[in-house]
Structure 1
Amino acid sequence: MKAMKFFTVIALAMMSVFTITSCDNDNDVYWYYPPYPNALVTVKPVSDNGFYLQLDDSTTLFPTNMKTSPYGDKEVRALVCFTEVKPVNSDYTKSVEINWMDSILTKKGVPYPGEEGEAEYGEDPIEIVKDWVNIAEDGYLTLRFRTRWGNNGVAHFVNLFTGVNPDDPYEVEFRHNAFGDVNGVWGDALVAFRLSDLPDTEGKTVKLTLKYKSFSGEKSIQFDYCSRKAAGSTNIAEKPAYSSRVK
């Protein structure tokens, strides 16, 4: 079974910080190297192969130590470990040095295909794990989910249906097709869905309802949601850069 990078991140987060002691023992200097992510961002490409990071709906980060995006012209959601630096680039909210960055599976939502088209998207259960990465921001719904994974190398198929409720355009549904890989060990993965099919909230914050099938039955969660304010790339990366076990 292929190991997910997510578990590597969790393991690193549990490590102790590293310290460096100066030559003067009476004046020890402690340097903290954070191996864990301190932000969830959207990596947005700009002209000349440059890029910036969208931290939330209103905060932008300028990377001072990377000139080109490792994801080319693709827009992706990513976990990042960064350090703020000075001076601040006047075109952005903050300037940062990127210690490391790792993209997660980033996909567009799927307009509800009707009952006749549902089968390929599956209805295998998942659990939504309580975590700081579960958020609706910058036009995306990002989720950490948990299910069972076997050791047969099968990539699970996850999607987000939009337009499932004619009476509520902000109701969406998580769908999971495990392709029969349902008897393995518990494991987590991250995914981000672009919400560009939803109606513009016109600057207002509304309730976004996520429906999903859990291992104990049908459940729902609500998120605060406001449509993406600034125009950005729509060239969404569809490949599972964060985990080889979901697509």
Structure 2
Amino acid sequence: MLMKSMKKLSLLLMVGAIGISLLFNSCSMDDGYSLNDYWLGVATVEALDGGNHYFKMDNGTTLWPAAGYYLGHNLEVGQRTWLNFTILSDEKDGFDHYVKVNGVDPILTKEIAEDKGEENDSYYGTDPVTVKDIWVGGGYLNVIFKFNYGGTKKHFINLLPVTGSENAYEVEFRHHAYNDPSEAAVAGIVCFDLSSLPETEGETVKLKVHFKTFNGDKTFELEYNSDKETVTGGNSGNMSIDMNFFETVN
């Protein structure tokens, strides 16, 4: 079962909302997969009995890391990752694919933060961002964004409930730059665990997400169903992201 939520990868990490498509090469295996082909996508680290881990894509596809660069990463359950992998086989032992992991990079993964009321602005910040992509998948709100960075301070990224709102599915994205100089526009990605929101009990609701952007306030409405493994939203806009930069965003 190939991932439907993928698009093409160039020599740079041209990252879209959900992932990329297969790059075809001549060398192939008996089941039709090539060891020279690779995929990149957002995946969540999941646990098995005995301390073993596997990866789960946003559309529910499960991947068993049968080979490759994986052991020793000490990834925690629930950690979101950019996963670079090669498919070795189709469905086997209860997993959709056995894969060779070519690389795995942790993504900033956070829970919804506490609403501090009148202290929200001073604590969480009010600095603007540019939203490049936003989608709900894997039980997470996922945001690819750009912001100004000077390299003198670590930035603070959060998602919190809207103060005073009666809508439990209304949240706001916050960015605190701590007066870091605006020297360059850089890209970041963050995933927020939505499990603290009320269960939708089989219904699909509108998740409203507010941002302060460089062009003023902006609101996105995304479909959210806590009982379904679906991917909603995502404008599929490609952009280059330096994976090493994520350490600067807390």
Q: TM-score, normalised by structure 2?
A: 0.74
Task: Determine the C-alpha separation between the residues in 2 that align with 1:204 and 1:50.
Answer: 33
Where structure 2 has 5 or more consecutive residues not aligned to the other structure, the ranges are 1-8, 15-22, 28-33, 230-242
**1:4 is matched with which residue?**
none
**1:110 is matched with which residue?**
113
**1:120 is matched with which residue?**
123
Aligned amino acid, residue 63 of structure 2: L
Task: Determine the C-alpha separation between the residues in 2 that align with 1:104 and 1:219.
Answer: 24
> Is residue 61 from structure 1 mapped to residue 63 from structure 2 by the alignment?
yes
**1:233 is matched with which residue?**
none
1:50 CA displacement:
0.9
Residues 77-226 of structure 1 aligned to structure 2 (within 5 Å)? 77-86=80-89, 88-130=91-133, 134-152=134-152, 154-162=153-161, 164=163, 166-226=165-225
Residues 54-78 of structure 1 show CA distances to partners (whole Å, capped at 9, x for unaligned) of: 1125322222116757234442111
Contact preservation (8 Å) 1:105, 1:242? no
Structure 1 111/196 Cα, relative in aligned 2: closer, same or farther at 3 Å?
farther
Aligned amino acid, residue 53 of structure 1: F
How many pairs were matched up?
214
Contact preservation (8 Å) 2:208, 2:219? yes
**What SS does structure 2 have at the residue aligned with 1:12?**
coil
Contact preservation (8 Å) 1:18, 1:31? no
**What SS does structure 1 have at the residue aligned with 2:50?**
helix
Task: Determine the C-alpha separation between the residues in 2 that align with 1:141 and 1:187.
Answer: 20
**What SS does structure 1 have at the residue aligned with 2:119?**
helix
**2:30 is matched with which residue?**
none
Task: Determine the C-alpha separation between the residues in 2 that align with 1:31 and 1:166.
Answer: 51
Deviates more, 1:80-89 or 1:185-194: 80-89
Structure 1 vs Structure 2 CA RMSD? 3.0
Aligned amino acid, residue 150 of structure 1: G
Query: Aligned residues: percent identity?
Result: 31
Task: Determine the C-alpha separation between the residues in 2 that align with 1:186 and 1:100.
Answer: 26
Instruction: Kindly name which structure, 1 or 2, has the bigger radius of gyration based on alpha carbons.
Output: 1
Task: Determine the C-alpha separation between the residues in 1 that align with 2:24 and 2:46.
Answer: 32
Residues 34-61 of structure 1 show CA distances to partners (whole Å, capped at 9, x for unaligned) of: 4xx5211111233322111111253222
**1:235 is matched with which residue?**
none
Residues 58-111 of structure 1 show CA distances to partners (whole Å, capped at 9, x for unaligned) of: 322222116757234442111112222226333223222212111111111113
Where structure 1 has 5 or more consecutive residues not aligned to the other structure, the ranges are 1-8, 22-29, 231-239
